[in-house]
Amino acid sequence: MPDSSLLSSRKGDHIRINLDENVHSSITTGLEAYQFIPKAIPEINLEDVDISQMLLMKKLHAPILISSMTGGTPEAEKVNRNLAVAARECGVAIGVGSQRAAIENPALAKTFSIRAYAPDALLFANLGAVQLNYGYSVDECRRAVEMIGADALFLHLNALQEAVQPEGNTRFSGLLDKIEKICRELDIPVFIKEVGWGISSEDARRLASTGITGIDVAGAGGTSWSQVEKYRIEAPHRARIAGTFQGWGLPTALSLELVHAAVPDMILFASGGLRDGLDVAKCIALGATLGGMASPILKASVISEEETVLTIKEIIEEIRICLFACGINNLTSLRNNSSILVKRG
């Protein structure tokens, strides 16, 4: 059985490494190839642009997800609080990082408990899907959900991250059946997410058959978890293996397009390298319901609550201005509307 103090100190490492080292993928999201076609005559008023929507019975003021990030340490607790306050203030969705440490050691649960700060927010619990091959069942999923009063559960897929770790959990065989079982037994929606290498068409089709509610493609082009692990590994030859995978993965835009074509009726989120409101809006035009960000919001959250709020408001305003300048009033007109994008090159 893993040592939960190891798990939580790992989370501490993660924040530090994410802030201090070059953990960026060596490829780009592909979103930069898309450009909006503005309307010089928008024929609408900026004040009338409404980017709210209902999702899983919750009202979102903007199509933004604060991606699953952290928990388990005092530092993480502070980050989570700032994120939660910002989610509340800005009316956006939010996820916590993997709750495994707190499942192993319930004393850590409070570092994940953000519901108090964001009573109405759409809130996602988080566990590694691979844990279902290491003894986890619907019980642990339920505990994760209850721990934070979540509206839905993210099971994340991170095969490469596990593989580059010296003692990673690399038994991914038979996971589909186990995910199906969780979907059947858990009474709240299950979402699947990657952590930065994207979901392929085939993944999407196979996952769709398990009964999940949605997918966050979490593609390549932003934070690279093999890079993060590279900085945690001490043996130089092992670290170099991790470094070799810096360009790995399906770019976020490509993954989103593939998955959207493969499972057109699935709820899709897009994350991985989104850096501003234009990126979020592009993902929605390409079929996503929410755009998620981790790294840029983490950077704000270690400064202050206010900085976190301002950062998210900035993204929201960028989305609104983008829609305004394209003559689009609301998300329904934006979603799937790839006719407002041109692709260069």
- State the minimum distance, in angstroms, from the CB of residue 105 to a copy of itself: 27
Q: Which residues contact 237 (CB under 8 A, 6 or more apart)?
A: none
317 is in an annotated binding site: no
Binding residues for a copy of itself restricted to 163-202, rule: CB under 8 A: 163-164, 168, 170-176, 192, 194, 197-200, 202
Which of 215, 291, 293 shows the shortest CA–CA distance to 259? 215
Helix, strand or coil, per DSSP, at residue 114: coil
Binding residues for ligand FMN restricted to 163-202, rule: CB under 6 A: 193, 195-196
295 is in an annotated binding site: yes
162 is in an annotated binding site: yes
Nearest residue (CB) to a copy of itself, 89 versus 194: 194
Radius of gyration of the chain, Cα coordinates, nearest whole angstrom: 19
State how far the alpha carbon of 191 is from the alpha carbons of 128, 139, 214, 264, 327, in Å. Answer: 12, 17, 5, 16, 32
317 binds, among ligand FMN, a copy of itself, none (CB under 5 to 8 A by kind): a copy of itself
The long-range contacts involving 187-190, CB below 8 angstroms and separated by at least 24 positions, are 188/145, 188/150, 188/151, 188/152, 188/153, 189/56, 189/151, 189/152, 189/153, 189/213, 189/214, 190/152, 190/153, 190/155
Nearest residue (CB) to ligand FMN, 35 versus 332: 35
- What is the 8-class DSSP label of residue 197? S
Q: Which residues contact 46 (CB under 8 A, 6 or more apart)?
A: 320, 321, 324
- State the minimum distance, in angstroms, from the CB of residue 317 to ligand FMN: 19
Binding residues for a copy of itself restricted to 233-292, rule: CB under 8 A: 237-238, 240-241, 244-245, 247-250, 254, 276-278
The residue to which tokens 């993902």 are assigned: 283
Q: Which two tokens stand for residue 38?
A: 């503005």
- State the minimum distance, in angstroms, from the CB of residue 173 to ligand FMN: 21
303 binds, among a copy of itself, ligand FMN, none (CB under 5 to 8 A by kind): none
- State the minimum distance, in angstroms, from the CB of residue 162 to a copy of itself: 8
Q: In angstroms, rounded to a whole number, what is the distance separating the alpha carbons of residues 190 and 153? A: 5
Nearest residue (CB) to ligand FMN, 8 versus 210: 8
The residue to which tokens 């079982």 are assigned: 181
Burial of 17 (0-12, 13-18, 19+ CB in 10 A): middle
> What residues make contact with a copy of itself under the rule CB under 8 A?
27, 35-48, 157, 159-160, 162-164, 168, 170-176, 192, 194, 197-200, 202-203, 206-207, 237-238, 240-241, 244-245, 247-250, 254, 276-278, 310-311, 313-314, 317-318, 321, 324-325, 342
Binding residues: 10-11, 67-70, 98-100, 126, 161-162, 193, 223, 273-275, 294-295
> What residues make contact with ligand FMN under the rule CB under 6 A?
14-15, 18, 67-70, 97-98, 126, 154, 156, 193, 195-196, 218, 222-223, 271-274, 292-295, 298
